[in-house]
């Protein structure tokens, strides 16, 4: 599966994450500062909840009429002289793009940041076909230079690295000789990349929002790299997830505002680039040839089902930036290029439960993700829905857990049994009890007491106290 990163099992990945103090420092610092910035940027609007509802309506409307808007989009792209390809699978998308590369005899591709091309492993496909691929987003560039380290965050892909680590990567791989100052590092990357833009045969981008009415698509960046990727090479290929579109510019404006405020706490990013088809006669720059690749890769299976709302996602990562689990384990622990709450919902849908069955449980269902989502995806409810599917349809829950839950069902069905169970609890736990606590619990309590004390059951349950009190008057 192309979106999969690493080969370790979930537990090993988590352990690795927890032990990576550099990464954890970077993630916690980023969460703290992004949290404040997001808060300020959303409060500035004054009526954030109305904006969210509006965003949700737009996304729901698009999903409910996706066939219509996709057709409109492709017709309008074709009208402007662009080529449109619908890829049902990652392989089909890669084959098509490889076909364009071969036809153009391209030796070098420059790329703007795109999660969907990560999802389909496009870089690998093109490199195997003998075409070099250069990532131009600074974060992606750092990762590519560092032997294709996978992204750990959908907006800030190199979040897990601090500036000293980036300096070391540049020194080792690029012969960089300056300090870890971000300005110096960025300047070096700029110099290296400038040549790449000028010599590239093809530019490849992702797509934040395609506009169906005009056949345009927008790119939201802070570095301006997407402008160079789309204006210098003669051929341009844009790859988009099939749900990433809006009816008109009016809706795009709303979603861009929700996106930049939620993602980076900015009113607007430095660049919001909107492009429509190949260069026309009066244009001074732009590609001579334009291809739009629309990727399904499992999305149409989500459509119309109980997880449809996940397709509302505009990839802002606000949910990741507030997630207390992500905070401590980092993005690579999820084993998918989609991490955090959105990754825990999306990865099992796109990559299957066999690969990602642990992810829906990597959440306390605290709801912080749902609270910040600018398009109101009920993320914690979808995580819960996954658990239900795993237990009831997939039958993938552990047997020990099933037994505990079966017993729970019995106890809950019979208040008598419950009362008896809680009555004998102090005696049953007596062998493990010292004073008023249990420090080494049996069975399911073991994992609890490895970390914390567990209270010994009260000898006089609350219900006994209440009953005795009723009998003996109100004195206690």
Partner 1 sequence: MKVTLFATCLVDLFQSSAGKATVELLERLGCEVDFPESQVCCGQPAFNSGYVKEAKVAMKSMIDTFLNAEYVVSPSGSCITMFHEYPHVFQGDPVWEPKAKKLAEKSYELTQFIVDVLKIEDVGARFEGKVTYHTSCHMTRLLGVKKAPMILLSNVKGLEFTELPGKEQCCGFGGTFAVKMAQISEQMVDEKVQHVEETGAEYLIGADAACLMNIGGRIERLGKPIKVLHIAEVLNSR
Q: What is the CA radius of gyration of the chain?
A: 26
H-only helix segments in 237-352: 249-264, 299-302, 318-322, 324-329, 340-351
What is d(CA 451, CA 453) in angstroms, rounded to the nearest whole number? 7
Identified binder of partner 1 from the candidate list 142, 228, 373, 390, rule CB under 8 A: 390
Residue 451: strand, helix, or coil: coil
As measured in angstroms, the least distance from the Cβ of 345 to partner 1 is 14
For the chain, give me the number of helices (H) and strands (E)?
A: 23, 13
Identified binder of partner 1 from the candidate list 48, 86, 271, 418, rule CB under 8 A: 418
As measured in angstroms, the least distance from the Cβ of 365 to partner 1 is 6
131 is in an annotated binding site: no
What is d(CA 111, CA 218) in angstroms, rounded to the nearest whole number? 15
Does position 37 interact with partner 1 (CB under 8 A)? The reply is: no
Footprint (CB under 8 A) of partner 1, residues 443-462: 444-445, 447-448, 450-455, 457-458, 460-462
**CA-based end-to-end distance of the chain:** 64
Number of residues that bind partner 1 (CB under 8 A): 63
As measured in angstroms, the least distance from the Cβ of 431 to partner 1 is 18
Please give the helix or strand (H or E) that residue 110 lies within, else none. Answer: strand 108-111
**With contact defined as beta carbons under 8 Å apart, do 153 and 331 qualify?**
yes
What is d(CA 363, CA 344) in angstroms, rounded to the nearest whole number? 9
**With contact defined as beta carbons under 8 Å apart, do 270 and 222 qualify?**
yes
Does position 365 interact with partner 1 (CB under 8 A)? The reply is: yes
Q: Is the dihedral of CA 122, 220, 242, 50 positive or negative?
A: positive
Site string (307-336) toward partner 1, x via CB under 8 A: -----------------xx--xx-------
As measured in angstroms, the least distance from the Cβ of 406 to partner 1 is 7
Identified binder of partner 1 from the candidate list 44, 127, 164, 371, rule CB under 8 A: 371
**With contact defined as beta carbons under 8 Å apart, do 351 and 3 qualify?**
yes
What is d(CA 344, CA 233) in angstroms, rounded to the nearest whole number? 37
**Cβ-based nearer residue to partner 1, 286 or 411:** 411
Does position 378 interact with partner 1 (CB under 8 A)? The reply is: no
373 is in an annotated binding site: yes
**Contact residues for partner 1, defined by CB under 8 A:** 11, 14-15, 18, 324-325, 328-329, 361-368, 370-371, 384, 386-392, 397, 401, 405-406, 408-409, 411-413, 415, 418-419, 422, 425, 437, 439, 444-445, 447-448, 450-455, 457-458, 460-463, 465-467, 474, 476
Known binding residues are 313, 316, 319, 323, 366, 369, 373
Known binding residues for [4Fe-4S] cluster are 313, 316, 319, 323, 366, 369, 373
């Amino acid at each position: 599966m192309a979106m999969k990163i690493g080969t370790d099992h979930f537990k090993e990945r988590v352990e690795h994450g927890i032990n990576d103090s550099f990464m954890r420092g970077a993630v916690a610092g980023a969460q703290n500062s992004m949290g404040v910035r997001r808060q300020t940027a959303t409060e500035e609007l004054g009526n954030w909840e109305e904006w969210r509802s509006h965003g949700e309506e737009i996304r729901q409307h698009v999903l409910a009429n996706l066939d219509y808007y996709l057709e409109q989009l492709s017709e309008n792209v074709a009208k402007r002289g662009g080529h449109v390809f619908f890829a049902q699978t990652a392989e089909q998308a890669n084959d098509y793009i490889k076909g364009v590369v071969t036809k153009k005899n391209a030796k070098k591709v420059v790329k703007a940041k795109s999660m969907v091309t990560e999802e389909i492993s496009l870089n690998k496909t093109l490199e195997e076909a003998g075409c070099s691929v250069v990532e131009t987003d600074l974060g992606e560039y750092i990762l590519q230079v560092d032997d294709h380290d996978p992204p750990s965050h959908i907006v800030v892909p190199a979040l897990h690295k601090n500036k000293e680590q980036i300096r070391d990567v540049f020194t080792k791989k690029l012969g960089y000789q300056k300090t870890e100052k971000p300005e110096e590092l960025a300047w070096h990357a700029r110099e290296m990349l400038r040549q790449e833009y000028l010599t590239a045969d093809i530019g490849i981008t992702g797509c934040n929002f395609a506009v169906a009415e005009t056949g345009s698509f927008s790119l939201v960046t802070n570095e301006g790299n997407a402008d160079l990727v789309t204006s210098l090479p003669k051929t341009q290929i844009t790859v988009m997830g099939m749900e990433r579109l809006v009816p008109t510019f009016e809706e795009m404006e709303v979603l861009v505002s929700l996106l930049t405020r939620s993602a980076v706490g900015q009113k607007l990013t430095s660049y919001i680039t909107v492009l429509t088809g190949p260069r026309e006669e009066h244009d001074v720059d732009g590609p001579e040839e334009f291809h739009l690749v629309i990727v399904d890769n499992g999305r149409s299976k989500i459509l119309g089902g109980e997880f449809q709302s996940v397709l509302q996602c505009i990839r802002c990562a606000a949910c990741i930036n507030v997630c207390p689990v992500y905070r401590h384990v980092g993005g690579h622990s999820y084993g998918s290029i989609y991490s955090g709450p959105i990754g825990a919902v999306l990865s099992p849908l796109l990559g299957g439960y066999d690969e990602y069955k642990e992810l829906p449980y990597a959440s306390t269902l605290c709801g912080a993700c749902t609270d910040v989502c600018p398009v109101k995806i009920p993320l914690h409810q979808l995580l819960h829905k996954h658990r239900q599917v795993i237990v009831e349809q997939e039958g993938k829950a552990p047997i020990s857990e099933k037994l505990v839950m079966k017993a729970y069902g019995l106890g809950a069905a019979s208040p008598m049994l419950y009362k008896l169970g809680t009555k004998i609890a102090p005696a049953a736990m007596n062998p493990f009890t010292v004073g008023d606590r249990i420090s080494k619990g049996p069975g399911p309590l073991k994992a609890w007491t490895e970390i914390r004390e567990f209270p010994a059951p009260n000898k006089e349950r609350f219900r006994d106290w209440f009953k005795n009190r009723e009998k003996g008057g109100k004195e206690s």
